[in-house]
Structure formats: C-alpha cells, structure tokens
Structure 1
Amino acid sequence: MTRAPGPSVRLKLTLSYAGFLMVAGALLLAAVWVFLLRYVPERDVVMGPRGFIPNRGDLQRAFTPAATGVMAFLLLFGLLGGWFLAGRMLAPLDRITAATRKATLGSLSHRIRLPGRRDEFRELADSFDAMLERLEAHVDEQRRFAANASHELRTPLAVTQILLDVARNDPDRDVGELVDRLRSVNTRAIDLTEALLLLSLTEQRSFTREPVDLSLLAEEATESLLPLAEKRGVTIETSGDVAPTVGSPALLLQLTTNLLHNAIVHNLPDHGTVQVSTAVGPESVELTVENTGERLSPQLVSTLTEPFQRGTERIRGDHGGVGLGLAIVKSIAEAHDGTLTVVRRPAGGIRVTAQLPAPTG
C-alpha cells in the first residue's frame, strides 16, 4: 500500500509529551494565581510604619514575567525530554521494523531476540520471532516437498521416455509387454498427481463439514481393502465404539483408507495383523490403526509423516504407494483441527492415532 509521508511517531510522541507538560504547567500556575488572589486586595492597604500590602496589579506585574519564563522552560524541557524519551521507548520498535524489512526481502533466519523483561514491545518481538520460525520451517518444508515431488514425477516420466525409445529402436519388441509397463508407469504418475492435489486441497481446507462416524468409515475402508489384506496374508481386526465427529466424509474416508492401506502394505510377509479401533473421549474421538511389521528406529518413525518418506524400502508391485500416505493423513487430520500421532511398537510395526474434535452441542 502506498501512503503519503507524514510525521514520525517519535515526533508525535515528543509533541504529546511537551503539550502535556505545558498543560500541566499552565494548570499549576493557574492554581497558584488563584491561590494568591485570595490574599491580595484589589487596592493598596496601609499597614502603618511598615508600609502597605501590594495590590493585585502589582502581583500581576510581578507574576506574569515569571510565569512566562516558566512556561518557556517547560516547553523547551518538554521538547528535549520528550524527544529523548520517545527515542528510548521506540528503540525496540526500530529493531522490529528492521527485522520485518529483512523478512520481506526473504531473510527468514533473522531473529529479533529483544532483551529485557516482558512488556508490550517484547511480547510483539517474541510473537514475531515465533512467526518467523514457523515461516522458515514452512518454507523449508515446501522447498523439500517441491524437490521431492519433482523427483518423484521425474521418475515415471523418465521411465516412459526410455520405454518409448526402446520401442522405436526395436520394432520387433513385444508390444503387449511394452503397453503393460507403460500403463503401470502412467498409473503411478496419475496416483502421485492425485495425491498431490488431495494434499493441496486439505491444506486449503476448502471442504464442507458434516457429521461423520469414524467407526463406519473404518468398516467401509476395511471392506474395500480386505482383498488386498487376504492377498498379502494379513488379518484385519476391528473394534471400538461409535465415534462421531464433524468433517468431510470423503477426506476422513481417505484418512482411514490411507492408514489401513499403509498398515497392510508395510507388514510382515506372512501372518501379519492389523488392528483398527475407535474410541470416544470427553472432547475428542480417536481412530487407531496398528500393525505388525519390522522394528523401526525412533528417528525413522518421527519422519514417516513427512512427504515421500517410507518406513522401509520402496514396495514393489501395484500397491507400493507414492510416499504421501501418512503425509496426507496428517494434513487431513490437521485440516479438521485434529492431530496425528505415530509411535513404534516394541515388537515391530507402528501405532498411528488420529485424534479429532468431538461434535459440540
């Protein structure tokens, strides 16, 4: 926004201090004048051998120059003192302004770190530092996400290019095999693109909220993924209570499906299990999915909700995923004002809990 130049805040405060001091001085002199008038007669009063008491005219002639000098001193003192005090008071604001200008130029690593005890300026500086810290983390995350997304999208495109080059250089190659491989690569690219769009949708929170029961979504997701679980020799166990919340049925079903799919795919080679449960608390409802699997380190578990992170090596086959499963789950949970918690199971596998607000009223 373009603004016309105006007086500085320091000048305004200086004039305010000086004006207040002048008003206070004028009121004080007025009080002294009124007080003296009570004891000074309108005319001279003879006192005998000692002379006479001065009248009001004499008092006015003596008082006016002194009062004028006092007011002049108060004006000068108010301007100089106000300018100094305003500068001291606004010094923290100058540091905040300098940090803001650096931030607008793209430098998010700078921090104000205003010393001293807490006051309004220091609360503002601390809030600004916290905002810069969150912005820096968000920008870094977006940069990593963009780099990872570019890498992930580049892979199927590069494979497609290679397959097409092979087909052009080898006309006798089996076309059916080439088409199947191209279809598989193209499907992966489409899945990745749709996942990226879904992740963007949840971050913008552009969806309609309505009553949803997480227990019903868990049953629906279980039925849809039961063939995959049977194919991989994984047993799914469901339990829990009715868990009502408010949100997008489609997105919450995606959350549940992603959790269950992730638990099935990243499981033991044979005789693995997945437990799906729902619970109701005083102010929230929970959907918990835990599975058997490999023992994971705490450091690896802490990164599973980041985009394009996988608990183990890339899964081969039609259900390998695109590395956005838990990232999408976390984004959906946060878009519904909820949280996602991932902990490792000592025996192997992980336990993921999505906690969402319970409906009010």
Structure 2
Amino acid sequence: MAEAPQPNSTFSRPAFFILTGLPGLGGAQAWLTLVFGPMYLLSLLGNGALLAVVHADTALHQPMFLLLAVLAATDLGLATSVAPGLLAVLWLGPRPVPYAACLVQMFFVHALTAVESGVLLAMACDRAVAVGRPLHYPVLVTKARVGYAALALALKAVAIVVPFPLLVARFGHFRARTIAHAYCAHMAVVELVVGDTRANNLYGLALSLAVSSVDILGITGSYGLIAHAVLRLPTREARAKAFGTCSSHVGVILAFYVPGLFSYLTHRFGRRTVPKPVHILLSNVYLLLPPALNPLIYGARTKQIRGRLLETFTPSRSRF
C-alpha cells in the first residue's frame, strides 16, 4: 500500500497521504498500542473529570481553576487530534488519510500545542500574582480577564499556525504519498514536497523558537518572582505552603517542556545520531504524555479538586 519515492518521479497533489507510523519497526509497532492506548484513555477520563468537576462546583469558579479547565480542554483536543489515528496506524498498519484531513490535523496539532504553552505561561503569571501580591490578587486576576486571556491565546494560535497548511497547500507536486510519521506533522509533509521549501523551513524554525522561547522566558521570570516573594516570608511553614501551591504547576511544566525540547533538539540537531523511529516516538510521547499526566498531577496536588473528586466518586454511606 505504501510506495517508496522513486528517483526523478513526482506526483501531482494526491487525494490522500499514507501514514506509516514508526518506520522500520514493522509489526512490532502494534505493541506500542499498549503504551499509547492507556495514555489516551487517561487523557479522556482525567481531563473529562476535571472539566466536569470545575463545571459542577461553583466554588471552583475561580481564576486558578478556570485556567486549569482551559488546560484540560486543550489537552483533550490535543490528545484527540493525534491518538485515534496513531492507534489505528500502530494496530492496523499504514493507513490512508485524505489530503484535506491531513492539513486539518496539521493545523490542530500545532495550534493546540501553541495554546497549551500559552496556558502554562498564563498559569505561571497567575501564581506569581497570587504569591507576590495576595492582597491585590482578587482585583488583578478576575474571571473576565481569564476569559479574555483564553480568547487571546486561541486567536494567537490560529494566527501563527494557519500559515503551516497554507504553505503546504501552495505546492502541487510531491515526491511520494507516504508520510514516514504517525500523524501529519508539518515538516514530515514538507519532506515530500517538490519545490523550494525554504519558506516552510524558516517559518517552522522561527515559530518554534519564538513561541517556546517567549513562553519559557515568561514562565522562568514568573517563578523567579515567586521564589523571591516566598523567600521573604517569615516562617518555614509559610514558605513550604507557598511552594506547595506551585508544585503541581511545576510538574505540569516539566511534563510538557522536557520531552518537547528533547524531541525538538533531536529533530534539528540529532538526525545523524538519533534514529528516525526514536524521533517519531518522542514526538508522539511529547503530544500524549502531558494530557495523560496533567490531571493526575493536579488531582493529586490540588486539595480542592482532590476533595471534590473523592466526594463525587466515593459512594455515600447510608445513614440510619
């Protein structure tokens, strides 16, 4: 079903591409469904439960928990944009994906990744204000401003990611129809293009550096302010409590950025040393691990959510 590109051969814009999953693993990649399947299930159950709890409990209609709900909705979208197709390819082998659907998936994967990074920055700023200026927090951070921030993040993601499918759609000829990847990543599709792809390469590199660098610098600065404020607290117990309120967010940040940066560095600088199946595996872990872990981290570390979840899912005892 999958064809290898032939020298000096080109194809007009195909009606569909063929996703191969992890090249070189053959039938062995079906075993990876035992890894990615539970990840996706945890993403659905965990983020769905968080959204349901925040929606049902009016006491949780506060900026911090509303930002968490935005993160959970983003995680649900990100995992769903990748996991069903990934699991189908791993279990059933190379699968066709319509040309238009490939571009749509490309848009949503990159856009939701940008939104998630922006939400983590917004959550870091929220914690910096809560710890550094607690008396002014109710005035500076309101539900309306959280809504505006979420809208701004969505609009920013659309604006910066729309060029990806448009830059691909301008090409009319391809070297092959087979994408050596598990989803329609921008650069994986660009590798098949016949023509000058410098604009795609430069825009992809510039966008990755700009978005990641700005958000990471903002998060680092926010936690620098948090550390400065916490270290000025008079007692060890107060400092421990303040750090404890931020520990879950730190875990979420590490779960998102560490595999993401490692995947990015291996793709840009380690092509000769890191096998392609390893790079593709890392890119899928990067997209599915945070949505699976985030609900567990917040459910375990946030007392209000943990208590509400236990109350919801623990059977009530009959009173006589």
Q: Which has the higher contact order (CA 8 A, sep 6+)?
A: 2
Structure ranking higher in helix proportion: 2
**Same fold, TM-score > 0.5, yes or no:** no
Q: When the two structures are superposed, what TM-score results if normalisation uses the length of structure 2?
A: 0.28
Normalised by the size of structure 1, how large is the TM-score? 0.26
Structure with greater strand share of residues: 1
